[in-house]
Amino acid sequence: MPSLELFDRQRKKRVNPVEFRAFAEPAMAKVAEVLRPVTLPDEINVVFVSDARIAGIHREFLSVDGPTDVITFRHGEIVISVETADRQAKKFSTSFHRELRLYFVHGLLHLAGLEDLTDDGFEKMAAIQERIVDEVERSYQLSVSGVSEGD
């Protein structure tokens, strides 16, 4: 399994690295199980950033203006906008933590070679990421019963 490093480069909303890692490590294993055979990078770096920072990355590397939720680089870096996660959680009546988890798994699926540029690819990725997040969250809830993440 890849090593996992977390970097919080924003000050908009607190991200608990212990709780995120408790989800992320089993999620990496679940992606490897679901998409077998798959090779993920040896090291995965997750960088939590603001909308302003991800908008700059979006423009520089993808030539698209404005913020986005997650950007994945093939070498193993997953950049996640905390502000977008917070905004989307409110829009879709879900939790901030679930949005972060969906973005992380989405990034893992890109690292595993899946693409979402077509409607079919988008639907396939969305279904797989929801399934993985649901399964890991169920396991996570059992393994840390009584621990609340709070929003």
- List, for residues 62-93, the tens digit of each pLDDT value: 999 999 999 999 999 999 999 999 999 999 99
CATH number among 1.10.15.40, 3.40.390.30, 3.50.50.60, 3.40.190.10, domain 3-143: 3.40.390.30
Rounded to whole angstroms, the Cα distance separating 5 from 76 reads 10
Cβ atoms of 99 and 88 within 8 Å: the answer is yes
Percent of the chain's residues with pLDDT above 70: 93
- List, for residues 14-35, the tens digit of each pLDDT value: 999 999 999 999 999 999 999 9
Which helix (H) or strand (E) covers residue 78, if one does?
strand 77-81
The pLDDT of residue 144: 46
Say whether 99 sits in a helix, a strand or coil: helix
Hey, what amino acid is at 75? H
* Region 97-102 average pLDDT: 96
Rounded to whole angstroms, the Cα distance separating 132 from 145 reads 19
Q: Output the pTM of the full model.
A: 0.92
Boundaries of every domain in the chain? 3-143
